[in-house]
Amino acid sequence: MNIDKVCIHGEWSSRLGFILAATGSAVGLGNIWKFPYMAGEYGGGAFVIIYLVCVALMGLPVMMAEVLLGKRGRCSPINTMRTLAEEVGASKLWQFLGWAGVIAGFLILSYYSVIAGWTLAYIPEVASGTFSAVTTMPETEVMGFVGSIFNNLTGNPLALIFWHTVFIVVTLIMLLGGVQGGLERAVRFMMPALFLLLLVLVGYAMSTPKFMEGVHFMFNVDFHKFFYPKGDQFSGDGLLAAMGQAFFSLSLGMGAIMVYGAYLPKHASIIQTTAVVVVADTLVAILAGLIIFPIVFSNGLEANAGVGLVFKTLPIAFGQMPFGSLVGALFFLLLALAAWSSAISLLEPAIAWLVETGKFTRFSATISSAVAVWLVGFATVFSFNLLADFKPLFDKTLFEQIDYLTSNIMLPLGGLLIAVFVAWMMKRQIITEELELSTDSFGFQLLQFLLRYVTPLGVTLVFLNAIGVFS
Ligand code: PFF
């Protein structure tokens, strides 16, 4: 069967186009908002090290596998998995992987957009100079002041709905333009700008009195504390969270990278492109940690402050530094842009699939899915105020449940299935052809080993550990 011609939605102008878009997808709130607060919650160093190991041993190979699937299938994840399963004579059930991905992307975007809304809300807040007040108040009041601004925002459902709506509307407009056009150009300017600003902020963090304490927190590995956070009671949660964060941060396991791979020009090299994306993504997360933890310790804040961590720390820095209002507004704007370039990749698998059914135009597919995501987002909006005490399962709010289900379960499971499909079901010859490697090269052997054994076993063991099988 000729799978070359089915459902092509477009193509990147070059390999660089793909690198920019995939980096745009990977770098986002996951690096700057989520990574620091998770690392803070799970005690620092051990979480960071396990996260890095997961990125190297599972994230990188799964990303290669996911791009490969997209490039070969050239469709939405659902139809890519259907045609490829047919090509290798595997069960039609592999489509399920595509379906799970579409659902995961949808659920993630529903809360991602609310958090990105916080970022938008902080742009005028910082720009108006609110936080310069921290320079004149006694040190003991700083924490309460920044905390109250954050709590006032999250406690106000109308404000959250407003910013969530703004974020979704702009995502919608970007998606209507098609993923290729505007995105390539926007990311080309945004990524270097964000990176530069992060370097400026690292410079600021180095000038704080407790810089080394922050560095120590991030890199000092204490596995005992990690596995026994409450004294002598074992917990596998941190391990699961670190693995989930690796998949989340790299946008893996749900078809976002697969659908971007489907727009890759036929002869672009998968190996080099994915390596660039993984390194860039990891670097941004580490830089974010190096900025935030010194500020945490220098101002007597708690590293385990949870989802508000970034919003309670960085404004202190912006309040204190010269031109802080400007730098801060720019920072939150760039963070919002980074979130947008991730958001569109969360919805693209669903849109591509709706278009392929033949029942939707790109326009109607985009509008319907955006409206649906917007509505589901209310569950997250209310998790911080009206429904803050509504914890129907596992003592978690609706937001926490959606986040846990997608990051800790769906994405790693998706990654596991992608690894199994590529390494066990596909013919070697197809893999080597797409990767432009020879079967006996070291690179191919290593990739095959990681995909065949390390990823499936690793994910399974972490799952079993989390449900307490080994404790
Ligand atoms: N990787 C994005 C981030 O770190 O913010 C979030 C994300 C995008 C997750 C796309 C999953 C995805 F498919």
Query: Is ligand 1 within 6 A of the CB of residue 101?
Result: no
Query: Is ligand 1 within 6 A of the CB of residue 55?
Result: no
Atom of ligand 1 nearest to the CA of 28: 5
Q: What is the pLDDT of residues 119-167, one digit of tens each?
A: 999 999 999 999 999 889 988 899 899 999 999 999 999 999 999 999 9
Neighbour count for residue 6 (Cβ, 10 Å): 15
Tell me, in angstroms, the distance from the centre of ligand 1 to residue 56's CA. Answer: 17
Of the candidates 253, 268, 249, the one whose C-alpha atom is nearest the C-alpha of residue 71 is 268
Q: What is the pLDDT of residues 117-130, one digit of tens each?
A: 999 999 999 999 99
- pLDDT at position 312 over 60: yes
Structural tokens at position 311: 């919003």
Pocket mutation for ligand 1, best pick of 107, 247, 251 (most atoms within 8 Å of C-beta) = 251
- pLDDT at position 6 over 90: no
Least confident stretch, 28-42, 357-371, 425-439: 425-439
Query: Is ligand 1 within 6 A of the CB of residue 24?
Result: no
CA distances from 120 to 97, 159, 191, 300 (A): 33, 11, 18, 26
Atom of ligand 1 nearest to the CA of 101: 13
What is the CATH architecture of 15-407? Answer: Orthogonal Bundle (1.10)
- pLDDT at position 278 over 60: yes
Mean pLDDT to the nearest integer, 445-450: 96
Number of continuous H segments (helices) and E segments (strands) in the chain: 23, 0
- Whose alpha carbon is nearest atom 13 of ligand 1? 251
| pLDDT for the residue 423 | 96
- pLDDT at position 234 over 90: no
Pocket mutation for ligand 1, best pick of 175, 287, 346, 348 (most atoms within 8 Å of C-beta) = 346
What confidence tier does 1 reach under pLDDT thresholds 50, 70, 90?
very low
Of the candidates 39, 70, 64, the one whose C-alpha atom is nearest the C-alpha of residue 265 is 70
Tell me, in angstroms, the distance from the centre of ligand 1 to residue 411's CA. Answer: 10
Query: Is ligand 1 within 6 A of the CB of residue 289?
Result: no
